[in-house]
Amino acid sequence: MKACRLFPLLSLLFLVLSCASGKNRPVTTVKESARSYEKLALEHYSKGDTKSALQFFEKALREDQKVNNLPGISSDLYNIARCYISFEAFENAEKVLNEALEINTHRNDRSAIADAYSLLAVIRSKTKNYEEAEDLLNKSLSLYQADKNKTGVAFTLNNMASLYIKTARYEKAASDLESAVSIHKKEKNHSGLAAAYNNLGYLKEMQNQTEEADKYYTLALEEDTFLENSQGISSDLYNLANLFKKTGDFDRALFYYKRALDTNRSLALVERMRSDLVHIIDILEAMGKLNEKALYENALSELSEISSE
């Protein structure tokens, strides 16, 4: 009798183990869906299509919320805040970031908390609350250092330098940017190098060192070109054009404004296109190229009609 009962018990045990094994197998389709939306969002964001990026980041958030994926939710909220900041919807951005902070404080994720502080500092800087911005960046820097996050440290130093330039503390800015460049080079972080070189270009421009500014803006352009970062390329070209317009080198300024215009047209960035066209028209008038000026005036008029529809 004992032998007869052994087989059913073994069969039942096998069935229970099989069911348990199946239940323990992670279901990843929802998280995968979230990351797919996130990837699409980042592609749109890099091309300057922030409106579409926001829609896909929100879809990623809804997927992550379905399975209470806290790291994913935190990342989605951070990216949504970035979009809001680009729209200058600062209150919305801060609300979203505070939610991300609550999640990451619960998770004790120091780098993610530092990310949120850094973005809050951007909001404070844009609203000219420089003292609060500096305090937030110092908190961010301490957290990145505690987490041994070298890339985070370098990005924060770059942001600190940007703040120092705005408040005319040029020596401090130069020191932080030198440190940021050194870290980004060691980490082979091209996006970080582009941002640091751009700030160095701006710093040298503020100090009326045109050749040095040209050098660093060009280095930023090389890094963004390597990354195929279209928005970054657009900004770098515009910075070079502005630099040469300021110094009266109209030929070079015109060249870079036209290249920036081409990039912005490909991205359908209307406001950037408008700015490029206004500068081009201004320079062509100064150079006495009135026939060419008329062509760009027509282009500006057409752009205004399209954007008002």
If the chain, 309 residues long, is cut into consecutive pieces of 10 residues, what is the mean pLDDT of each piece?
40 38 61 96 89 97 97 98 96 97 97 97 96 98 97 97 96 98 97 97 97 98 95 96 97 98 93 96 97 97 77
**Token pair in block for residue 30:** 């929802």
Residues contacting residue 16 through CB under 8 Å, at least 6 positions apart: none
The C-alpha atoms of residue 168 and residue 14 are separated, in whole angstroms, by: 73
Contact 165, 188 (CB under 8 A): no
Q: What is the value of pTM for the model shown?
A: 0.84
The C-alpha atoms of residue 95 and residue 26 are separated, in whole angstroms, by: 32
The C-alpha atoms of residue 65 and residue 55 are separated, in whole angstroms, by: 15
Residues contacting residue 149 through CB under 8 Å, at least 6 positions apart: 110, 111, 114
**Token pair in block for residue 143:** 């957290």
Region of 69 please: left (phi>0), alpha (psi -120 to 50) or beta: beta
The C-alpha atoms of residue 78 and residue 84 are separated, in whole angstroms, by: 10
- Going from the C-alpha of 115 to that of each of 81, 185, 195, 246, 264, the distances in angstroms are 11, 21, 16, 36, 29
> What are the chain's domains?
33-108 (1.25.40.10), 130-222 (1.25.40.10), 232-309 (1.25.40.10)
The C-alpha atoms of residue 300 and residue 279 are separated, in whole angstroms, by: 11
pLDDT score recorded for residue 2: 42
pLDDT score recorded for residue 20: 44
